[in-house]
Structure 1
Amino acid sequence: MKLEQMDPSDPTFWVDFMKGMLKPLAATAVVAMAMALSFSQRLGLEGEMIYAIARSFLQLSIIGFVLQFIFTQNNSFWILLAYLFMVSVAGYTAGQRAKQVPRGKYIAGVSILAGTAVTMFFLVVLSVFPFTPRYIIPVAGMMVGNAMTVTGVTMKKLREDVKIQRNLVETALALGATPRQATLQQVKRSLIIALSPVIDNAKTVGLISLPGAMTGLIMGGASPLEAIQLQIVVMNMLIGASTVSSILSTYLCWPAFFTKAYQLEYKVFSD
């Protein structure tokens, strides 16, 4: 019987769980190799590696038990709670990347929430995925993670470009352009830079590496044909969610970059 079908109060559950942890523990041998190389090259990363591995082990163990609980509940409330938690953490992280953007965490959080929610809505309505914890939570996690990265890069790059080309933006504003018109090229550049990795990944998927979702299914016993069906869906949803989130973040950044009189807010661009 699988662990997910067993009761944690049953001693057999913990015996099987500990047996399953032998392989992850054995895999730490490659980390020991990396630490030895770091030490030999005097990189000083050994402590960081130990901390990263210990933290990932703890986080994943906790998340595993949390998901085990949520999957057994099969309740929409727990799906939404888990989703909002992921969005909150992602918004904070993306906001930290663009910390010089005023209200950056709020802008990132709203953008990620909107982009992933709209994409998830279409997937559920079109019956691509059923609205159950087993499907929605992993899928939402992938979308939120990618939207977080793209949104953070978009906001940071937009601010940097506006700062570098401040004279051009101010000239356009003086000639009567709106903030959107004055920063159109900077917005385009930031979006292209942020979205290019997602698009390039979609172009080369399966040719250079097998993505995580596809690899997981194949290693779990699914046929390669079933795996590619899911991976195609995953790539489509990542592009959709990332694009909506990044574009929305540029619209939300404008009020912070300009005054009500359509002038650049200088304190935003001062280091």
Structure 2
Amino acid sequence: MAVYGGYETRPFRQETTAGIGAQLLLLALLWLAVGLGPVGWLTGSVFAVATWVVLTLALRRSGTRSFGPANHVTLARATLAGGVAALVADSLGGRPPVTVLVALATVALILDAVDGQVARRTGTSSRLGARFDMEVDAFLILVLSFHDSFSLGPWVLAIGMMRYAFVAAARVLPWMRGALPPSRARKTVAATQGIVLVVAGSELLPYAVAFATVALALASLVWSFGRDVLWLWRAREVRTVALTVVEGAKGRESVIVGRSAA
């Protein structure tokens, strides 16, 4: 996923504004296909405007003036996630059109593997693009966990809230803001969550199997986040020891300099 200033000459405002248009078009199609109601329209519209505002501000702060190709893919994923959110909100805990919901979510999950490939092949990877990708993933997982919670229980919401709880904790605990090393296990666990939630929400599995599968997914997510928190805590201890050593060395150096001057 990426934003790259030199890839295109058109201002990024055209792309972000087109995202709102794409979202409204999808909502209109859902209205025609499954009778999307006012709550769904409101949810999808609010999500579209919020995405436009946040993305535009982020692009401005980064100094970027144009969109990269991978960001187009992620913006399409955001549009699909907005459609899923509209369907879930419109059902108000009832039974949304499962086939359409699963189809939108499945395409969004498939595209999750596309934007990264596009960014790498075009050399347009960036921190902003990676963050955009991550936020779309987190939102889609949150919506899917909310949908599944009505059939499996409110505990499923823990899957969707896990990352947001981690971010909230990092705002209070500075040591949790450190950079984590790359991890294939972390990526695998994260990718599995969406697949499991979609399958469980498709109503194709018996209740017991769906319950056990989602519970296993949650357990793996707890393990993954727990491992990262432990790594950050240990890294904090290492940094504290290193800082103590450096400060001690500076103190001894100051004493030696003082004695030499005397």
Which TM class, normalised by the smaller chain length? 0.3 to 0.5
TM-score (ref. length: structure 2): 0.35
